[in-house]
Amino acid sequence: MSQHLHHDIVIIGAGAAGLTLALELANTHKVAVLTKGEISEGSTLYAQGGVAAVLAETDTVDSHVQDTIIAGAELGDEEAIRFTIEHSKESIDWLIDQGVPFTRYGDDQDYHLTKEGGHSHRRIIHAADATGLAISKTLVKNAKAHPNIQFYPDHIAVDLVTTQKLGLNCPNRVIGLYALNQDKDEVEVFHAHRVALACGGSSKVYLYTSNPDTASGDGIAMAWRAGCRVGNMEFNQFHPTCLYDAKAKTFLISEAVRGEGGRLLLPDGSRFMFNFDERGELAPRDIVARAIDHEMKRLGVKHVLLDISHKDPEFIKEHFPTIYKRCLSYGHDMTKGPIPVVPAAHYTCGGVVVNQHGETDVADLYAIGETSYTGLHGANRLASNSLLECIVYARSAAQNILADSTPREDFTIPDWDASKVTDSDEDVVITHNWHELRRFMWDYVGIVRTDKRLLRAKHRVDLLLSEIEEFYSNYRVSADLLELRNLAVVADLIIQSAMSRKESRGLHFTLDYPEKLEHSDATILKPRIRSSELARS
């Protein structure tokens, strides 16, 4: 018999988006927060640069909006962009009220604002070069102290439970979920009046990524299976500068390093970015990543170089203490010379289609943060807009929930049925498919694409989806199997979206259609409506 747990809302993920929502609701709601591993493990923890917001007197909302539209290759939703930026200052004020220790600078000790690629003003408020860590530590501390917030670490969501999946004769809505308790190796049933997906992006679908191991697209895949649309999944941002070192596992070098004067160099010491864009190193990430990829392939080299050693050593240590110490631990002293860097999958610009309150196509199901597609990022994310989106949409979702006093019906959810499955003696299948999926996504659906590469990828993912579903139906679930199942779904969505876009725009660059169309729309995929039975119920 499964353990059944009851909450007003279950939030999957404990990053900036999930914890903001939890803290905003906890005074009136019983909140459960599920995390796959440790409570703070997620992309927020590793975010270095900061939060973009209109804070300086010389800056304007219109300027930030325009920078976002340009960086997004004119594919962003201007209404969503303006909504986000108009709420930027109040979101920063909220974080400050929570106790986030943003960096102060100068004699007057005002908050220090830095500048990053694609921004026309200094508008990035930060906590040294570890902003995500500061936000995560602060919000986790506050959430742990709240009596109405209960954390469930080492729980990985299996699937959402909806009234449609149960075959109930009523409008479709989410009523809970199944989750694998990894400590007990048992699937538990979570009942909830609302569920929020705040479990990050899907960069783990690629062989090389700057993201933590948790970024396996779980929220996007579960929402798709529940009947939600997804948008702009072809736009996967590759961070241009991750440390190239076997021991570093692609440690991210913040865009702020280039914002403060860092130069990209070829192995012979020559600069190359001005050959690709008049903004040089401060061009948007998609342009910088493609330029580096081009030069690496042209020269047959494994990396390029990033050099800020022309700056005063104390300036470097003060502005980038975390990066400096981490690089030094691997034998790279950024105060004395250039460091080796390569692009790596970094951010999922698409996701589950939501409105300005984070509501999805399924009633009572919300998606916030990197899991969602709000329209903010368009074809390419502007640096440091992502943490802003987390806070703005989490607070908007909370306001929407708090304003809704409609009573919610309690539904019966069946136990998880594992009576017809066995323990697998073929885990090598999971390992093999895991590596194959990430390899062909990197080779065929990476920074530069072609129709032939995408077709090869589509053939492979169709076979993998069939193999994985057969495995899932016959063997006990495990964390690796659940993540592989979700990554395969996300890979298919990325491939389908990329195949449908007959142009090069933003992060989607194809040699078969190198030009940008004069008019283009977001790519929206809609699940086929079918009578889906509840898995193992």
Cα distances from 263 to residues 208, 269, 295, 395, in angstroms, run 23, 10, 15, 38
Beta strands in 76-227 (DSSP E): 104-105, 110-111, 113-114, 124-125, 149-152, 155-162, 174-181, 186-197
Residue 155 is which amino acid? H
Could you give the CA distance from residue 303 to residue 517 in angstroms, rounded to a whole number? 32
Amino acid present at 263: R
Hey, is 189 helix, strand or coil?
strand
User: Would you say 196 and 397 are in contact if contact means Cβ atoms under 8 Å apart?
Assistant: yes
C-alpha to C-alpha distances, 229 to 177, 217, 393, 461, 496, nearest whole angstrom: 19, 14, 18, 20, 13
Q: Is 82 a catalytic residue?
A: no
Identified catalytic residue from 285, 381, 395, 460: 285
Kindly list the distances between the CA atom of residue 482 and the CA atoms of 22, 33, 182, 434, 471, in Å, as whole numbers in the listed order: 25, 19, 12, 11, 11
280, 117 in Cβ contact below 8 A?
no
The candidate with the shortest Cα–Cα distance to 498, out of 488, 489, 507, is 507
The packing angle between helices 385-402 and 78-86, to 10°, is 80
Q: Would strands 372-373 and 351-353 be described as parallel, antiparallel, or unpaired?
A: parallel
Q: CB of 509 within 8 A of CB of 448? A: yes
Q: Residue 288's closest CA among 239, 354, 347?
A: 239
Q: Which of 416, 423, 515 is nearest to 186 (CA)?
A: 416
One-letter identity of residue 97: D
3-state secondary structure of 23: helix
Q: At what angle do helices 131-144 and 16-25 cross, to 10 degrees?
A: 30
The first and second tokens of residue 500, run together, are: 């449908």
Cα separation, 382 vs 69, whole angstroms? 9
Contact 37, 154 (CB under 8 A): yes
Q: Which of 162, 170, 190 is nearest to 533 (CA)?
A: 162
Asked if 134 and 100 touch (Cβ cutoff 8 Å), the reply is yes
Instruction: Tell me how far apart the 2 most distant CA atoms of the chain are, in Å.
Output: 69
DSSP 8-state assignment for residue 248: T
Pairwise CA distance, residues 399 & 397, whole Å: 5
Residues acting as catalytic residues: 285
